């Protein structure tokens, strides 16, 4: 269907008004053909605000950081944290090379006396009972043909490079009790690309070779979003005197202790970090779901879900924050070449490669976390949040143009930020302006 046909179809089905259809038809800075090439059954775009986080100095370079997010306070909080961090020397960050992991799941063919069948899962018990020596044989076969497999993978890309192979041996402990399997992992340097497509292509390319070498059966062939070989680390010093002194600093350490030890707090602590990281990831066209999934798994790497940041006091008495997370992002490929807003955001940051982008995203997460726990340790977040949210409330109440600011300011002064109060203030303003 064309865009018109799709819109007409949903208009009839859902009884939408002409105004509603026009809202959905809007494609903003994008051409319909572009969005139609990105997703199926496209009808329009979903707009989000983009704001600019300021004051960021990362590895001695100043950045203006675009953040696409609907939540008030996030951009102000990041900018404020970055200002304080800049007085402590700015953010110091380092990203690993862009090594992604691809997984090929190999099921050994069952050759036990219980069932000498050459096909998969044909034993009476539905249990793949390969023994240790069979698994060892297969492992050796793959390692002995390591170079051949790597070369085969490398025929599939002119920029990414498969550099190594690792093998894992796992046993299904789910309710299906399927027994033993081998996971062949390829390590691929995807350079400035996030790398999902190239890694998936490589995994699919080597699968037949792995099957023929081992007489096993390959099932899954897919990239892992747990990018543990592609970590980014970022650190910043927040001078004690600029954050409110020793008492606040100690309170922040208590906030961190709670997020380290208690999972219910850890999730919210990490959600604040993702406010910063996801909004930059969205503005720069990254797969933020992949980043989220990887970060949350990393938060559980010792078996307990914990804070993704660390906070401590250094020998000068200042507060130090650190973050370490997997960060699979790209400055080429995906929608970085086709989405005009994404292209402009990358240009705005003057970012030259994927590793640099990873450092910016990590710094945004750390900054966001600082501001959240700084506010929570002191006056709470609602005061600042409601102040910024008041403009939103004014708009919901029907304020437009300069009346948004007037209504919002009055509600904040009165410490009563609500839609009903906004409507009353607006009514008074409208009466006054009609009168004039
Ligand atoms: C709100 O979006 C994020 C916070 O809840 C994060 C936190 O509690 O650390 C403020």
The answer to whether the beta carbons of residues 184 and 142 sit under 8 Å apart is yes
Q: For ligand 1, atom 9, which residue shows the shortest CA distance?
A: 269
Residue 120 has a pLDDT of 55
Q: Whole-prediction pTM value?
A: 0.88
Residue 385 falls in the annotated catalytic set: yes
Phi-psi region of 172 (alpha: psi -120 to 50; beta: other; left: phi over 0): beta
Residue 126 has a pLDDT of 44
Residue 421 has a pLDDT of 92
Residue 20 has a pLDDT of 97
385-435 maps to which CATH number? 1.10.8.660
Would you kindly state where each structural domain of the chain is located, as residue ranges? 3-38, 50-95+231-378, 99-224, 385-435
CA angle 231, 233, 234 (to 5 degrees): 155
Residue 271 falls in the annotated catalytic set: yes
The helix (H) or strand (E) run that includes residue 238 is strand 231-238
Q: What are the pocket residues of ligand 1 if the criterion is a CB atom closer than 6 Å to any ligand atom?
A: 71, 268-269, 271-272, 275, 372-373, 376, 381
The helix (H) or strand (E) run that includes residue 121 is none
Which of 366, 367, 376, 385 has the most ligand 1 atoms within 8 A of CB, as the residue to mutate? 376
Which architecture, in CATH terms, is 99-224? 2-Layer Sandwich (3.30)
The DSSP bridge partners found for residue 105 are: 183
Which of 73, 372, 385 has the most ligand 1 atoms within 8 A of CB, as the residue to mutate? 372
Find the 294 Cα to ligand 1 centroid distance in Å: 20
Which residue in the list 87, 169, 271, 310 is annotated as catalytic? 271
Rounded to 5, what percent of the chain is helix, strand, coil?
50, 20, 30
Which residue in the list 221, 339, 385, 387 is annotated as catalytic? 385
pLDDT at 18 over 50: yes
Which of 257, 259, 272, 367 has the most ligand 1 atoms within 8 A of CB, as the residue to mutate? 272
50-95+231-378 maps to which CATH number? 3.90.770.10
Residue 341 has a pLDDT of 96
Lowest average pLDDT, out of 14-28, 111-125, 214-228, goes to: 111-125
The answer to whether the beta carbons of residues 328 and 278 sit under 8 Å apart is no
Find the 45 Cα to ligand 1 centroid distance in Å: 28
pLDDT digits (tens, 9 = 90+) for 347-400: 999 999 999 999 999 999 999 999 999 999 987 767 767 777 788 899 999 999
Find the 376 Cα to ligand 1 centroid distance in Å: 8
Residue 83 falls in the annotated catalytic set: no
Tokens of 102: 């691809």
Q: For ligand 1, atom 4, which residue shows the shortest CA distance?
A: 272
Find the 248 Cα to ligand 1 centroid distance in Å: 18
Closest CA to 98 of 361, 330, 333, 352: 330
In this prediction, residue 436 has a pLDDT band, given cuts at 50, 70 and 90, of low
Q: For ligand 1, atom 7, which residue shows the shortest CA distance?
A: 269
Find the 272 Cα to ligand 1 centroid distance in Å: 4
Q: Please state the length of the chain.
A: 436
Q: For ligand 1, atom 2, which residue shows the shortest CA distance?
A: 272
Residue 309 has a pLDDT of 98
Euclidean distance between CA atoms 304 and 385, whole angstroms = 31
Residue 204 falls in the annotated catalytic set: no
Which residue in the list 204, 287, 324, 424 is annotated as catalytic? 287
In this prediction, residue 305 has a pLDDT band, given cuts at 50, 70 and 90, of very high
Ligand 1 atom at minimal distance to the Cα of residue 255: 9
Q: Three-state DSSP class for 12? A: helix
Closest CA to 183 of 171, 194, 169, 197: 169
* Domains 50-95+231-378 and 99-224 fall in the same CATH topology: no
Residue 407 has a pLDDT of 93
Residue 432 has a pLDDT of 83
Find the 267 Cα to ligand 1 centroid distance in Å: 9
């Amino acid at each position: 269907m064309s865009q018109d046909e799709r819109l007409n179809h949903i208009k009839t089905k859902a009884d939408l008004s002409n105004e509603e259809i026009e809202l959905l038809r809007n494609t903003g800075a994008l051409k319909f053909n572009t969005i139609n090439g990105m997703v199926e059954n496209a009808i329009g775009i979903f707009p989000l605000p983009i704001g600019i986080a300021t004051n960021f100095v990362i590895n001695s370079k100043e950045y203006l950081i675009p953040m696409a997010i609907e939540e008030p306070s996030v951009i102000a909080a990041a900018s404020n944290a970055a200002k304080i961090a800049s007085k402590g020397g700015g953010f110091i960050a380092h990203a690993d090379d862009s090594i992604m992991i691809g997984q090929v799941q190999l099921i050994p063919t069952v050759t036990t006396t219980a069932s000498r069948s050459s096909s998969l899962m044909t034993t009476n018990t539905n249990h793949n009972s390969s023994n240790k020596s069979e698994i060892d044989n297969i492992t050796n076969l793959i390692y002995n043909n390591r170079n051949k497999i790597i070369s085969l993978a490398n025929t599939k890309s002119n920029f990414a490079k498969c550099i190594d192979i690792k093998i894992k041996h796992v046993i299904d402990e789910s309710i299906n009790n399927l027994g033993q399997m081998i996971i062949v992992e390829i390590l691929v340097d995807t350079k400035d690309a996030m790398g999902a497509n190239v890694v998936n292509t490589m995994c699919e390319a080597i699968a037949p070779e792995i099957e023929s070498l081992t007489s096993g059966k390959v099932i899954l062939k897919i990239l892992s979003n747990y990018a543990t070989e592609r970590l980014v680390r970022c650190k910043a010093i927040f001078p004690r005197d600029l954050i409110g002194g020793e008492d606040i600093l100690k309170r922040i350490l208590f906030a961190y202790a709670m997020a380290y030890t208690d999972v219910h707090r850890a999730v919210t602590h990490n959600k604040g970090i993702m406010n910063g990281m996801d909004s930059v990831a969205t503005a720069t066209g990254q797969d933020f779901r992949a980043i989220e999934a990887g970060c949350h798994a990393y938060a559980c790497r010792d078996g307990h879900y914990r804070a993704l940041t660390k906070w401590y006091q250094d020998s000068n008495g200042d507060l130090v924050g650190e973050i370490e997370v997997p960060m699979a992002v790209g400055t080429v490929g995906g929608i970085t070449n086709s989405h005009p807003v994404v292209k402009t955001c990358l240009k705005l940051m003057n970012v030259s490669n994927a590793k640099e982008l990873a450092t910016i995203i990590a710094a945004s997460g750390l900054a966001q976390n600082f501001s959240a726990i700084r506010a929570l340790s002191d006056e709470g977040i609602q005061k600042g949040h409601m102040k910024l949210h008041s403009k939103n409330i004014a708009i919901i109440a029907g304020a437009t143009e300069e009346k948004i600011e007037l209504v919002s300011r009055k509600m904040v002064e009165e410490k009563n930020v609500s839609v009903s109060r906004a409507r009353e203030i607006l009514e008074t303003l409208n009466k006054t302006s009609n009168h004039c």
